[in-house]
Chains A and B, each alone.
Chain A
Amino acid sequence: SQTIHQWPATLVQPVGSPLSLECTVEGTSNPNLYWYRQAAGRGLQLLFYSVGIGQISSEVPQNLSASRPQDRQFILSSKKLLLSDSGFYLCAWSEVGMWTNEKLFFGSGTQLSVL
């Protein structure tokens, strides 16, 4: 069965420090991968998605970047965190089937607090 791992679960970082969140998927090949951010009590905002190794699409211009060095690995980064980067970050994957996308499964999330 497929599983998605996301770490760390919580992170407290000072303003101006770098960030690296990692996500890996097991049990599937060539998935679409996604990074979402969720503000407290709000919906999910799509940040980045990737349809293959090295292929990154950005939805919102911001202080963050994403990379996909391996088929089942997705990394969210920042060189210098801002206070506004605080939030709940979620990694997700979807299968690519006959109908373009089939299902979307989420990791357990990372609660990032920038102080």
Chain B
Amino acid sequence: GESVGLHLPTLSVQEGDNSIINCAYSNSASDYFIWYKQESGKGPQFIIDIRSNMDKRQGQRVTVLLNKTVKHLSLQIAATQPGDSAVYFCAENEITGNQFYFGTGTSLTVIP
């Protein structure tokens, strides 16, 4: 599969601060990206997605930014809460493919 990796394996933030989780991908044909949150022992939970025809997409307290020029994706979490502590994964998919490929994940710890 294609390489989908994360810049930092762990991230610690103070409660109330904003969090930024980064993801790099190498497949220039990737056109659809998803961010997931996974809590221990559970399946990944869909957070937000973005297609390559967009640079930014916002959800509730989350924003995904896509920079196709440098093949970089980020997830911003506003006013991080203890419940946001989890492992976050990005996944990518090609417009012509059915496979979704994942990075190794970033572990986010929110300090009360």
Contact = CB atoms under 8 A, between A and B. Distances in A.
Given A43-B104, A46-B101, A111 B41 contact: yes
B99 interface: yes
Contacts of B41: 109, 111
Nearest to B53: A99
Interface in A75-114: 90, 92, 94, 99-101, 103-109, 111
Contact of A100 (B96, B103, B104): B96
B101 A103 contact: no
Contacts, number: 68
Interface residues of A, number: 26
A46 B95 contact: no
Interface residues of B, number: 28
Contacts of B46: 103-106
Nearest to A44: B102
12 contacts: A42-B104, A43-B104, A44-B102, A46-B102, A49-B98, A51-B98, A94-B100, A100-B96, A100-B98, A101-B32, A104-B91, A106-B36
